Structure formats: structure tokens, C-alpha cells
Amino acid sequence: MKGRVAGWYRRMKIKDKLFVFLSLIMAVSFLFVYSGVQYAFHVYDEQIYRKSSEVLRMSSERIEDLLKKIEDVSYEIITDEHIQRILSMQNRDDTYDQYQMKQELWDQLAQYAGDEKYIDSIHLIDARGSEYSAGSSSSDLMKQQQEEVFERAKAQKGRNLWMTLGSSDPVLISARQIRSFHQLSLNGLGMVLIQVNVKQMIRDLPKDWGDSVGDMMIADKDGNLVYSARASVLTPEMTKQTLRHPGYDLVKKNGKRYFISFLQSSYQNWSYYNVIPFDQMFAKISFMKTVIGTCFLLFFSVVLLFGRKIANSITEPIEQLVSAMKSVQHGGIEAGVSLSLPEHTQDEAGTLNRHFTVMMKRINELMEENVEKQLIIKETELKALQAQINPHFLYNTLESINWLAKANQQKQISQMVESLGFLLRNSIHIKDDTVTLQEEADIVLHYMTIQRFRFEERLNFTLDIAEEVKHCRIPKLTLQPLAENAIQYALEPFTRPCAIRIQAKKTEDCVCITVEDNGPGMNERILEKTGGRGIGLWNIHERIRLMFGEPYGLRIQSEKGKGTAILLTIPCRNEVV
């Protein structure tokens, strides 16, 4: 699989590779950003949970402290000696005394009800069922469920019993059985019920707590709601379920979500809940998530769009170059010549295209030059074919002159004509670039034969070719120009005799050829011209170096009044180079 993906990637175009690369970078960046944002929001959620739990703990402790005070009030009532005495005397028939005791009982209850802010009402029911109450308000639920309350309170045997009456708008009451402690008889004297204003307790919590608490809910150990500011959110079934998993939870009801943190208190085994509307609390966070996601997607789209354009701008010159190369490959040279880019394109692709264009223009020029040269060569070959008759005519003419000279006993003329014919044949018919040293020496001998008839006794020519080097190869027409150079500079300007000597001998693996004369030599000006290798000598020197290499060539030795010597060094080779 990995090799298949790698092969697929290698076959992609450069612009597609760049696009894929940018996409991968953006995708990885998105994952990092998304993970970072999610982690930040998770930390924020935990901070909210900690704050909510802390406030909930402090609120529960505050409420429980107030409930304990109310519980203390109920204890004071059932242990009040005056109340105990009044309830013990309820069996008397004296109507006036009973009325007076009732008044005292109401006054005593009113005093207890006024001691605590959060007591709505206090109800005392004696053994005969008479009720004495004090306070600002009381719930009808206590009358409706009085028997149930009495039964449960009696089971506590004088201990305090917290009960909630109702479900939609629950009422919290404290119930205690009044038992006679005279001589520890513990006879039932009645029941005291205290209705608690839980709502006021919640409202009186410190404001800096309330801002973070949201809507508080309290449930008893059976899951019944003791207090609920948002009764439609939590149900008894839900409280029983969340009770087993202390911490926090996200509840969805009626299409709305609520963030609920909860804890269980050791006091009465009650559970406290903090209900915060999730959508309202996290509206800004959700909005920020949406904004961040939208901005990143927009940025991702813009980067990909511009990345695609940048990739196209980079690869477009290369694609043009590839297209031009394909056209050239199929013979379309003009496509490479006509390839052009804007002047501002100065990157590597632009430089490559411009160099390719220059190269194709040069190739086109060379091809045009080659066509012109081919035409010239064809024309030259045609002219050479047309001129083939002229050498034959010249040879025949020279043979006629030679025959006539021999017939008239003109040996000098006959020798000159024969030498001239030899030179003409060698210059025309020898097609190889090299000849043997012996063949080159024959050419020089025939050239000197003609020059002897010209200069007579003034020319003293000597040719000394060692037998071991006669078959060594030498560039064609090397010695004859040197002999001609000696005649031009040593013999022609003067009337005195001149000795010209050509010598060839083997030295190690080389052949050393010397062309020397006893002429006037050369001064510095002439030596600089010829010793610096004028056109003729420079031509010979370069031909030898190109044919045999750098170590070989030509050099001149000359001194004023002592003649000139030209030294040639060539390898001793018998094969054709």
C-alpha cells in the first residue's frame, strides 16, 4: 500500500504535488488548532465545574446550618417545660383554665416563630387533635397529609423528621413528636410541625455565590425534590439516577440542554444540584467555536486557491518548456525558437526557458549555416567534377613538353617538367592527412630540383633522412613550406651562395627534423614575427600539435649573421594517424 501511494505521488505533476503538500500542511495545522481549542474548552468546562461545585458546597453548608437551627428550635419546643406542662393539663374540664393555657401556648409558639427568619409557621397538635399555630403562612398540604406525617414522626420517637410535601411546589417541614419527660414516662403529648421557607434561604445566599450557582435544586434521600427553582428540569427519576454518579452531567430536556453539577451531603443524606442552562452559559463559547471553524475553513480555502495559482505559476513555464521540447523532438524547431516568457519572470524556470530559447535559436542558426555549407560543398563538388578535365589536360601538356625537351636534348627543361608534374600530382591526388617522411622528402627533392635551375650554383641543398625514420608518418606538406621559407629568407634577398640542409633522425621515441640554413639569420623584429610563428609556421605547428599532442610541435633558433634552424619534433609512428 505504501509503495502504491509513493508510486502514485511520483507520477503526479509538480503542481499537483505542491497542492497535495499544501493540503496536508493545512490539514495537520487544522488538527493541531482544533485539538488545542478543544483542550482549552475542556479546561474551561472543568473550571466551571470546579467553581460550580465549590459554590454548591458552600451553599449546601449554609442551608444545612440554617436547617440545623430550625431543628434546634423544634427541639427547644418539645423540651420547653411550660409547653410540656400545658399539654399535660389538657384533660382538665375548667374552660377558663383551658382558654388561658391556649393563649399561653399561642404566645409561646409565636415567640419561637419570631426567633428564626426562615420559619413560615409552627403548628402544634395536642393529643386531642387541637391545633395551635403561629407564623405568617402555612400550607394546606400539612392538613391533607397530616396522618402520614404523624405516623412517620411517631416512628422517629422524638427525633426530628424532615419531610417534603407535594411535588410541583414542594413544602419542607420539620416534624417531631412531643413526648412527656416527666418521670421519663415518654407519653405522647402531641406533635410539632415547622414549615420552612427554603426559597428565602436560597434567595438570601451571598450574591457572588448566586451568580455561579444558577438554579439550585435539593432532593432528599428518596430522590424527592425538597426545593426546585426549575422543577421541569429534574424529576425524581433523574435525581435517583444522578445520585449514584456524583460530579456533573449534561441533561437535555424539552429541546434544551442543562449543565448540572451535584453533590451528596452527609446531613440527612440530601443531594444538592446546580442547574445552569448550557446553551445560555456556553453561547459565547459555541459562537467562538463556530467563528474559529468558519475562519479556518475560509483561510484553508483561500490558501488552497492561492496555492493552486502559485503552483500553476511555477509549473506553467516548465510545462511550456516540456511542450516545446516535445515539439522539437518531433521536428518542430520553430516551437523552441518561438518560446517566450514575460520579462518579469526571473526565477529558475524563467531562466531555464530563456536559455532553452537561446539554445534553440543557436541550433536553428547552426542548422541554417550547415544547410548553406552543404549547398556550398555540393556546388564545390560540382565544380571539382567539372574541373577534372583541366589536370588531365595539364598533365598531357607537360608530357608533350617533356617529350619535346628530350627530343631536343634539353635535359634541364625535361627535369623541371617532370618535377613540376610530380608536385602537381601529389598536391591533387594525395587524400590522406599524413604521409611517410620518405614521401615528404621526395616532394622536397622535386621542389629543390626546380629551384636549382632558378638559382643554379647559389643553392646548395642537402637532404639527410635516417633509414629508421623514413616510414614514420608526418603531416602532408610539412617540409616543403619550411624549405620554401629558407629560400625566401636566406637565399632570395642576397647574391651569395646559401646552404640549406634538411636532416631527420630518431631521438628516443621521437623523430627530430631540422631545417637549417647559413643565411643572415633574423633580427629581433623578424624573429618575433616568425619565431612567434607567422601564418605559415604557426599552421605547421598547430597541425602537429592537433595531430600528435601538446609535447610535439615546432620551434625556431636563429642568430643574426649565423643562420636559422627550424626544429620539428614528432612521434615515431608508422601507422596512419
At 129, give phi and psi (nearest 5°).
95, 5
Handedness of CA 456, 457, 459, 461 (dihedral sign): positive
Identify the bridge partners of residue 124 per DSSP, sorted by sequence position.
132, 192
Q: Residue 525: which residues within 8 A CB-CB, separation 6 or more?
A: none
User: Do 154 and 175 meet the contact criterion of CB atoms below 8 Å apart?
Assistant: no
pLDDT score for 112: 83
- Evaluate if residue 576 carries a pLDDT over 70: no
Span 12-28, mean pLDDT?
75
User: Do 572 and 506 meet the contact criterion of CB atoms below 8 Å apart?
Assistant: yes
pLDDT score for 113: 81
The three three-digit cell numbers of residue 540, written as one number: 605547421
Q: Residue 143: which residues within 8 A CB-CB, separation 6 or more?
A: none
Q: Strand pairing of 119-126 and 171-179?
A: unpaired
pLDDT score for 118: 85
- Evaluate if residue 482 carries a pLDDT over 50: yes
pLDDT score for 532: 43
* Helix 479-486 and helix 437-455, axial crossing angle in degrees, nearest 10: 30
Handedness of CA 416, 419, 421, 423 (dihedral sign): negative
Q: What percent of the chain has pLDDT over 90?
A: 5
For 314, other C-beta atoms within 10 Å of its C-beta total 15
Q: Render pLDDT for 273-324 as a digit per residue (tens, 0 to 9).
A: 877 777 666 677 777 778 877 887 788 778 777 777 777 777 777 777 777 7
Q: pLDDT band at residue 514, thresholds of 50, 70 and 90?
A: very high
Handedness of CA 484, 490, 493, 498 (dihedral sign): negative
Triad 309, 314, 7: Cα angle to 5°: 95
pLDDT score for 504: 93
Span 499-517, mean pLDDT?
91
Cell 636532416 found at = 503
567: closest CA among 558, 577, 554?
554
Q: Residue 79: which residues within 8 A CB-CB, separation 6 or more?
A: 181
The three three-digit cell numbers of residue 95, written as one number: 374552660
The three three-digit cell numbers of residue 259, written as one number: 449543565
- Evaluate if residue 393 carries a pLDDT over 90: no
Distances (CA, A) of 321 to 309, 327, 354: 19, 10, 10
User: Do 512 and 475 meet the contact criterion of CB atoms below 8 Å apart?
Assistant: no
Structural domains of the chain sorted by starting position, each given as residue range(s) with its CATH number in brackets = 57-202 (3.30.450.20), 214-281 (3.30.450.20), 287-384 (no CATH), 456-571 (3.30.565.10)
pLDDT score for 512: 94
How far apart CA 12 and CA 14 sit, in angstroms, is: 7
Q: Residue 371: which residues within 8 A CB-CB, separation 6 or more?
A: none
Q: Is 475 helix (H, G, I), strand (E, B) or coil?
A: strand
User: Do 321 and 22 meet the contact criterion of CB atoms below 8 Å apart?
Assistant: no
Instruction: Return the amino acid letter for 570.
Output: I
Q: What percent of the chain has pLDDT over 70?
A: 76
- Evaluate if residue 77 carries a pLDDT over 60: yes
Q: Strand pairing of 271-277 and 215-219?
A: antiparallel
User: What is the widest separation between alpha-carbon atoms in the chain?
Assistant: 207
Q: Could you tell me the pTM of the whole model? A: 0.47
At 9, which helix (H) or strand (E)? helix 2-11
Span 202-224, mean pLDDT?
69
pLDDT score for 371: 81
Span 106-132, mean pLDDT?
82
Q: Is 562 helix (H, G, I), strand (E, B) or coil?
A: coil
What's the chain's average pLDDT? 76
274: closest CA among 220, 236, 228?
228
The three three-digit cell numbers of residue 113, written as one number: 416563630
197: closest CA among 238, 227, 232?
227
Cell 605559415 found at = 536
Greatest mean pLDDT among 5-19, 20-34, 499-513 lies in 499-513
- Evaluate if residue 246 carries a pLDDT over 70: no
The three three-digit cell numbers of residue 351, written as one number: 531562466
Span 214-234, mean pLDDT?
71
pLDDT score for 511: 93
How far apart CA 263 and CA 53 sit, in angstroms, is: 8
Which segment of 1-5, 66-70, 90-94, 565-569 scores lowest on mean pLDDT? 90-94
- Evaluate if residue 487 carries a pLDDT over 60: yes
User: Do 271 and 243 meet the contact criterion of CB atoms below 8 Å apart?
Assistant: yes
Q: Strand pairing of 564-571 and 553-558?
A: antiparallel
- Evaluate if residue 141 carries a pLDDT over 70: no
Q: Is 393 helix (H, G, I), strand (E, B) or coil?
A: helix
Handedness of CA 538, 539, 545, 551 (dihedral sign): negative
